[in-house]
Amino acid sequence: MIQGIIIYYFGDAMVLLETKNLSKSFDGLKALDNVNINVEKSKLTLIMGPNGSGKSTLINAVSGFLKVDSGKVLFEDKDITNKEPNEIYDYGIVRTFQNPEPLKSMTVLENILISERHIGEGVINALFHSKWIKKEEEMVEKAFKILEFLKLDHRWDHTSKSLSGGQMKLLEIGRALMTNPKLIIMDEPIAGVAPGLAHDIFSHVIELKNKGLSFLIVEHRLDIVLKYVDNLYVMFNGSVIAHGEGSREIERVLNDPKVIEVYIGD
Ligand SMILES: Nc1ncnc2c1ncn2[C@@H]1O[C@H](COP(=O)(O)OP(=O)(O)OP(=O)(O)O)[C@@H](O)[C@H]1O
Ligand SMILES: [Mg+2]
């Protein structure tokens, strides 16, 4: 009995983000229909599903870009349901978008720096100019470390519009890292990216995961992404229709006739 309680406690502690019966309708269309997912610490959780199944709606809801009708979003056991995106960001959740939109005329370095939004902020910081400079130096150092990690440092003074599609996705990850997140949510991080660079993006993701970061990812390119996935959810018509954790269960989910059917019907 006692052992059971201990196991339950540790099991629970691994869950970083949880949705409970999350629901959202658009004019009667159930884009999310009682969705329950768990995102565990230091794991890569993938949401797959045909077009229009509710994947983007789910991550928009979790990250505060969309208000839900009912259900809950818990992050580290705290209720963050329908909070504003900036509040959710303060909890340590950051997201990248399906179509990254860096400020194109700014350099790669500037794009990384502007995502650290506390820089020079507020009257008090402006009064203490030397403190502000120190902070700025630290931020530039941090930005360079991130660029080095992503192998974008040689492009630091190029405008971001000169980057390839894949490099822009890496820049998005860099911008996310600048905020010291606990959870990075990514909508289609390798859409339109050549296979070599797509694997490169995921090798960075795995390295970050091994350092303790957690990822919630939506992606259609299953041929590339599946081998990196720890936890898989399949959505269709706003519902989770299958779930598997670990390679054996993921294999089972992919061979589940229900899952095959929704893809064939797509
Ligand atoms: N803002 C909105 N207003 C009205 N309907 C919406 C809105 N956002 C999404 N929908 C609808 O909700 C459903 C789920 O859409 P969603 O974008 O979440 O799908 P998805 O799984 O991300 O698809 P894709 O793989 O094509 O990106 C779709 O039927 C879509 O048309
Ligand atoms: Mg989508």
Q: Could you tell me the domains of the chain?
A: 16-102+180-264 (3.40.50.300), 105-162 (no CATH)
pLDDT digits (tens, 9 = 90+) for 219-258: 999 999 999 999 999 999 999 999 999 999 999 999 999 9
Pocket probe mutation, ligand 1, options 48, 55, 217, max atoms within 8 Å of Cβ: 55
Q: What backbone phi and psi angles, to 5 degrees, belong to 53?
A: -85, -10
Task: Identify the nearest ligand to the CA of 55 by its number.
Answer: 1
Residues lining ligand 2 (ion), CB within 5 A? 56
Distance CA 63, CA 195 (A): 28
* Ligand 1 mean position, distance from CA 37 (Å): 18
Nearest to 47 by CA among 61, 34, 37, 62: 37
Which residues surround ligand 1 with Cβ inside 6 Å? 26, 29, 31, 49, 51-57
Confidence class of residue 7 from pLDDT cuts 50, 70 and 90? very low
Q: In DSSP terms, which residues pair with 109 in a beta bridge?
A: none
Segment 108-123 shows an average pLDDT of: 70
Residue owning the nearest CA to atom 26 of ligand 1: 51
pTM, to two decimals: 0.89
Residue 2 has pLDDT above 70, yes or no: no
Q: In DSSP terms, which residues pair with 244 in a beta bridge?
A: 232
C-beta of residue 132 within 8 angstroms of C-beta of residue 200: no
Residue owning the nearest CA to atom 29 of ligand 1: 52
pLDDT of 134 reads 73
DSSP code of 39?
E
* Ligand 2 mean position, distance from CA 239 (Å): 14
Lowest mean pLDDT among 105-114, 121-130, 212-221: 121-130
